[in-house]
Copies of this chain bind each other. A is one copy, B any other.
Amino acid sequence: MTEPAELRLIALRNFPLVKPQDDLQSVITQSLADNQVTLENGDVLVLAQKIVSKAEGRQVKLADVTPSPQAVELAKSTEKDPRLVELVLQESNEVVKTRGPVLIVEHRLGFVMANAGIDQSNITHGGDNDSALLLPVDPDGSAARLRDGLQKEHGRKLAVIINDSVGRAWRMGTVGLAIGVAGIDPLWDRRGDQDLFGRTLEITEVGLADEIAAAASLLMGQGDEGTPVIIVRGVDYRSADRGISPVLRDKEFDLFR
């Protein structure tokens, strides 16, 4: 008989709606208590981008945005609100591709994504109160602050990942991806490891943080109430503080830019 290896993902239910200036650390700690969940050493907390952005006041009223001529132009071809396109351009290093309504940019943080991560569903619709939600200014920094605070408060060694649902080349459907990390090496470098036959693996660097982000996304999407915080327990990872940038492929080495 053998003991199966297990990985558990725990969604904090009845997580309150997050408002600007909310202290996410207190909200999470309160929700952990409400759910009777005690953090353990090695737990990875995955937070949905939207709650981090909301707490950090990254909501922008469209009425306050003045589109540039370039935004007006792009808005026509993509059939989008010019003010939204203006925000996308402000949040981006460059436009990577555009066709029909699709607008793929390199976000200022280096992520290649549609609309700089500003989804239509992120926009509140209410006349002059229409607003869009931008990605956090510094997701690695946000993750690091939360990790430090939660570690101290709960006396456990933790990692934090901020994830977002992002579209992909070649495949339909969004998947959870890591946009900020703290306390975890986002890549698992297996080069030099040996396979089952003692041969050295030649390739493999695993996108560990992205796999965790995708796994957490499975639970975030379920139910009507929304569960933006997931605790992932049982992943074997290396602690590190180099943020998410090692995951970003250098533009010059990317065949698909």
Q: Is residue A11 within 8 Å, beta carbon to beta carbon, of the partner chain?
A: yes
Is B247 a contact partner of A172 (Cβ separation < 8 A)? yes
Give the number of copies in the complex: 2
With the chains together, A7 CA to B221 CA distance in Å? 12
With the chains together, A170 CA to B36 CA distance in Å? 39
Given A4-B12, A17-B196, A125-B199, A172-B205 contact (CB < 8 Å): yes
Is A247 a contact partner of B171 (Cβ separation < 8 A)? yes
Residues of B within 8 A of A171 (CB): 177, 207, 210, 247-249
Q: Is residue A186 within 8 Å, beta carbon to beta carbon, of the partner chain?
A: yes
Q: Which of B170, B197, B201 contacts A112 (CB 8 A)?
A: B170
Chain A, residues 1-39, CB within 8 Å of chain B (1/0): the string is 111111111111110010000000000000000111100
Is A202 a contact partner of B112 (Cβ separation < 8 A)? no
Residues of B within 8 A of A224 (CB): 196
Q: Which of B104, B121, B219 contacts A203 (CB 8 A)?
A: B121
Interface size on A, residues (CB 8 A): 83
| Contact residues of A between 211 and 247, Cβ < 8 Å to B | 211-212, 214-215, 217-219, 221-227, 234-236, 246-247
A200 nearest CB across to chain B (Å): 8
Interchain residue pairs with CB less than 8 A apart (5)? A5-B11, A119-B203, A165-B206, A172-B248, A206-B217
A interface: dominant SS: loop
Closest 9 CB pairs of A and B: A173-B207, A215-B215, A169-B256, A214-B214, A5-B11, A7-B9, A169-B169, A120-B202, A112-B170
Q: Is residue A72 within 8 Å, beta carbon to beta carbon, of the partner chain?
A: no
Given A211-B218, A212-B218, A204-B174 contact (CB < 8 Å): yes
Q: Which of B9, B14, B208 contacts A2 (CB 8 A)?
A: B14
12 further A-B contacts with Cβ under 8 Å, apart from A119-B204, A171-B247, A173-B205, are A3-B13, A4-B13, A7-B215, A9-B9, A168-B207, A173-B210, A173-B247, A174-B207, A175-B211, A196-B226, A211-B214, A212-B218
| Chain A contact residues, CB within 8 Å of chain B | 1-14, 17, 34-37, 97, 99, 102, 104, 111-112, 119-121, 124-125, 165, 168-177, 186-188, 190, 195-197, 199, 201-208, 210-212, 214-215, 217-219, 221-227, 234-236, 246-249, 254-257
Residues of B within 8 A of A17 (CB): 196
With the chains together, A224 CA to B3 CA distance in Å? 15
Residues of B within 8 A of A199 (CB): 121, 124-125
